[in-house]
Chains A and B, each alone.
Chain A
Amino acid sequence: MNVAWVALVLITQLVAGSVVWSWLYAAPSSGEEQDLGPWLSLPGALAAALVLGPAALAMLMLAYGVVGIPFGLGPVLAPWWVAAWWQRRRLARLLGTAARASSGSDRALCVLTLVAAAAVASISLRVPLHTSDAVHVYGTTARFFETERGPALDAMASTTTFGWHSRDYPPLLAFNEALVFLAAGDRRAALVKPLFVMPWAAWILGVWAIARRLRPRAAGYGVTLLFAAVPAAVPLAESGYADLFLVAGLLCLANEIRRQLSTPAASGDAWRLMAWAAALGLTKDEGVVAAVAVAVWLTLGVIRRTRPAHVLWPVGVLLLIVCTWPLLCALHAVGAGRLSSSAPLERLAALPDVVSHLLTGMALPVTAAGRLPALHVIAALVLATLGLGRRCPQAVGRRILCWEALLLGHAALYTGVILLNHIDPVWQVTVSGQRLAFHFTPWLLLLAVDGATALSTTAPREPRS
């Protein structure tokens, strides 16, 4: 019976994500047609649902925590099924459009991803959860949420922490783990494992959703690379599931920004950015930085020169969602509780080591196969694509620059968070090891896809106007 309840939780994640996706992207009743870009394909829709679903459940649990409604499967899951029933026509219309807009390879990828995810999940079920961040960082907090049927701030504040338990960490993953624990009962350590596979699926589908529209054939090669790593995903999906969820969210956010920059302004654009940024802001420290950056960007009206008055509500709601958990922790004196190991100056002195480890992790597939110097591989790819970008049409060149900026920005963000963390940065980046590949592989793949586009494009560079 526990298995059925856990399956219901996981399916509800998808249902909730689909409902939010339809709220954000269904054509308004006025009949105004919008270019929904990559979201209007089955892989794009599935990636969106896999990111928005856990975020939607977490936001509902956060709201329950604030007003004092106890956590339970009924109160958390039922509203999304009711909403799906209420929105069934709009949802069916949008899904139908997405199915019609999807190619055979889109459908094949969805099936392949689901089959691979099911295979990884069934293999991982054999070993109960026993270590990694899923226990230390999120799982322990989730156990407090489960046993206290609420945010359990006072209980966490009064309990001495052991080891790496981060009590004030953004709560999205802990809320979702708690939900699975409530469903799984005593079998929680085993039945929680399929939860970790879903961000991995979102990560692959997110890469595809972007790359497919850029260059279908090259995208196929890129995603083949990701699928070739399925056996490696079995342990890594668990140890790095927070990283996978974060990067899947970042891919969706980048996708949405790119869509908004390449299509005419539409009503609801600010709310769409708000939704992706809110999901990120509840996931990890890096996501909080991304969410604040989106809030600043929206406020400044950079996107489409929107007047600040139009983004006031979305920015307000975004800040409310992202700030609620830190404020609750501060009010209840819930500190980090983590081990600290080095002074700020020591951490700064570790910068070269951190960057060096980061570069090694970034090129992990290459270094693992041939032990080539990672720095050379990254530098060659960046310089080659930069050179190609100068010789191809402006649109492709701009995209190449965009991916390189995202790659460097992501690396800077990761470095900053690691240096500011309480834990020794070199030790942390060493332990992160293979998980670093999750962070940077998507941008490198997109760079390679557009590099292939630039190579095959013979058109001269458009003259500047």
Chain B
Amino acid sequence: MGHSTGQDQKAQLGTGWATALLLLGAAQAVLCGLTLNGLHERTQRLAELLPHHTDPSMSAQRVLPALLEHVPDDARVLIVTREPHPLPWAFHLLPRRWRALQALDDALLTAPATASLHWPRIVSDWYERLEREDRRLTPERFEAGLAWADWVIMYGDGIPWPAETPRLRLVATVEGSRLVRIVR
């Protein structure tokens, strides 16, 4: 009887180990996809942040810390950008005082909805809000911003300077983004 019980226990143990191995194998197979996805995402994000990478959608956030190394904490900074996405300026710029003017492209309103069917609504809300808070780029606001600021950060080409531009000194350029000191 005792011998039989011992054999039963061994058989149970063997079944237990087999089940464990089977489950572990299944777990690895099931999670393989998730793991590879994670690695892929990681690689992508690393690539986006490398200095030589020129993905414009990541550029604004990538270059800002490098540009701000030149700007003292008590400075007033004007940001002029064509970047269509809302960016966390305060995260990088505080404790400096800052204003941001955003040039928006009307074509975005009619662009095909990529992330969501509600995308046009999000963009139109964003436009309205920028207009309401005087943050949409116009020549008048640009001129007023230059009169207030000590430093200017420019993202993107083709932004026209106002007629009455103070004396400027280019301090740094990173990935096409420019840091300019206003000389008074």
Contacts and interface: CB of A to CB of B under 8 A. Distances in A.
Majority secondary structure, A binding face: helix
B29 A130 contact: no
A255 B87 CA distance: 40
Interface string A153-176: 000000111111100000000000
B35 A339 contact: no
A22 B20 CA distance: 36
A23 B124 CA distance: 53
Contacts of B89: 162
Contacts of A163: 85-88
A200 to B, nearest CB: 12
A144 B94 contact: yes
B77 to A, nearest CB: 13
A366 B62 contact: no
B16 interface: yes
B170 interface: no
Contact of A221 (B24, B29, B58, B95): B24
A127 B100 CA distance: 26
Interface in A315-374: 339-342, 346, 364-370
Given A130-B49, A228-B35, A426-B116, A341 B125 contact: yes
Contact of A136 (B23, B58, B88): B88
A160 B100 CA distance: 10
A228 B29 CA distance: 10
A452 to B, nearest CB: 9
Given A224-B24, A369-B33, A426-B118, A140 B88 contact: yes
A369 to B, nearest CB: 4
Interface in A22-55: none
Contacts, number: 134
Interface stretch (B3-11, B37-45, B103-111, B147-155): B37-45
B27 interface: yes
Interface residues of B, number: 47
Interface residues of A, number: 53
B10 to A, nearest CB: 17
B171 interface: no
A243 B86 CA distance: 23
Interface of A: 126-128, 130-131, 135-136, 139-140, 143-144, 146-147, 159-165, 189, 217, 220-221, 224-225, 228-229, 231-236, 339-342, 346, 364-370, 424, 426-427, 430-431, 434, 437
Interface of B: 16, 20, 23-24, 27-35, 37-39, 41-42, 45-46, 49, 58, 61-62, 65, 85-91, 94-95, 100, 115-119, 121-122, 125-126, 129, 133, 135
Given A163-B88, A368-B33, 20 more contacts: A128-B49, A131-B61, A144-B94, A147-B94, A161-B90, A224-B24, A224-B27, A225-B27, A228-B31, A229-B35, A229-B38, A232-B34, A233-B38, A235-B41, A339-B125, A340-B125, A341-B122, A369-B30, A426-B116, A434-B38
